[in-house]
Amino acid sequence: EAQVTQNPRYLITVTGKKLTVTCSQNMNHEYMSWYRQDPGLGLRQIYYSMNVEVTDKGDVPEGYKVSRKEKRNFPLILESPSPNQTSLYFCASSLILGGYNEQFFGPGTRLTVL
Amino acid sequence: EDQVTQSPEALRLQEGESSSLNCSYTVSGLRGLFWYRQDPGKGPEFLFTLYSAGEEKEKERLKATLTKKESFLHITAPKPEDSATYLCAVQANTGNQFYFGTGTSLTVIP
C-alpha cells in the first residue's frame, strides 16, 4: 500500500530535550516536505527536499533541522525544542514529473513541548 | 509575497443545499493550485490540481474552477459525509514551496 508513515504519532517532551520525528514513504517520490499546522494559521511549510542531499527552507524553518540521506526517509530534528513548537506536524511526499503532482500526507505527529 | 486566502472560514449547509468555497491567491506566476480535504485528526487528502485559468475538474459532487485570481470549489447537493475542512494550496513558478490557506470548515446537516 502506497503510504507516508510518521513516528511517533504523539509526543510530549520538555524544553531543550532533542527529538527526531521520522518520515518514510514507499512511493519512490523525489519531493518530500514537512509542515506544521496551527489553529488559525493553517499549514505552513518548514523544510522541503527535492531529492537526496537536496534540502531547502520553507516559511518557518527556525528551530528545525532536516536531512535527506536516503530517498525514502526525511526526518525532522528539533535540537532544542521550545513550547512555541507545540503543534501538529505533517510529512508529505510527491512525484516531480513534468511539474508538481499531488502531495501524499502522513497521518500527523502531535507534539507538545512543556 | 505569495498568499492564499480562503473564505468563508466555516460553512453549514443542509443536505442537498449546493454552495461554493472560495480560494483567492496572490503569487508571482502560478505553477499549480491544489485542493485538499482534511478530516479531523488526519492528514490532508488530495482532491484536484488546476494549472491554468479556465480549467475545471470534477469528482462526484465536487467541481473545482480556476481564474487568474481565485479558485472555487463548488459542492453540488452535499451529503453529511462531505463534512470536512477543505484546504487550498498554491505553488508559484518561481520556487518549489507550497502555500496553504487556512481552510474552510464545512458541516453538512442531515
Instruction: List, for residues A56-113, the tens digit of each pLDDT value.
Output: 999 999 999 999 999 999 999 999 999 999 999 999 999 886 666 789 999 999 999 9
pLDDT of residue A110: 97
Residue in A40, A45, A104 nearest the CB of B98 = A45
Q: CB–CB of A103 and B98 under 8 A? A: yes
Q: Which residues of A touch B (CB under 8 A)?
A: 4, 31, 33, 35, 40-45, 48, 50, 56, 58-59, 90, 92, 99-108
| Beta bridge partner(s), residue B35 | B48, B88
A22 to each of A1, A34, B10, B66, how far by Cα in Å?
19, 11, 33, 36
Nearest-by-CA chain B residue for A98: B31
CA distance A20 to B81: 35
pLDDT of residue B22: 98
Q: CB–CB of B87 and A59 under 8 A? A: no
Say if residue B2's pLDDT is above 80: no
Q: What is the 3-state secondary structure (H, E, C) of chain A?
A: CCCEEEECCEEEECCCCCEEEEEEECCCCCEEEEEEEECCCEEEEEEEEEECCEEEECCCCCCCEECCCCCCECCEEECCCCHHHCEEEEEEEECECCCECCCEECCCEEEEEC
B-chain CB neighbours of A44 within 8 Å are 100
Placement of cell 484546504 in the chain = B87
B-chain CB neighbours of A99 within 8 Å are 31-32, 51
pLDDT of residue A1: 87
B-chain CB neighbours of A108 within 8 Å are 41-43
Give the B window 13-72 contacts with A, CB below 8 Å.
31-32, 34, 36, 41-46, 49, 51
Residue B54 zone, left/alpha/beta (φ > 0; ψ -120 to 50; rest):
left
Q: CB–CB of B31 and A100 under 8 A? A: yes
A-chain CB neighbours of B42 within 8 Å are 107-108
CA distance A99 to A95: 8
CA distance A85 to A91: 16
Say if residue B92's pLDDT is above 90: no
B-chain CB neighbours of A107 within 8 Å are 42-43
Helix, strand, coil percentages in chain B from 3-state DSSP, rounded to 5:
5, 60, 40
Q: Kindly report each contact of residues A97-101 with a partner whose C-beta sits within 8 Å and lies 24 or more positions away, as own/partner.
A: A99/B31, A99/B32, A99/B51, A100/A31, A100/B31, A100/B32, A100/B91, A100/B96, A101/B49
Kindly report the nearest CA distance between residue B101 and chain A, in angstroms: 6
Mean of pLDDT over chain B? 94
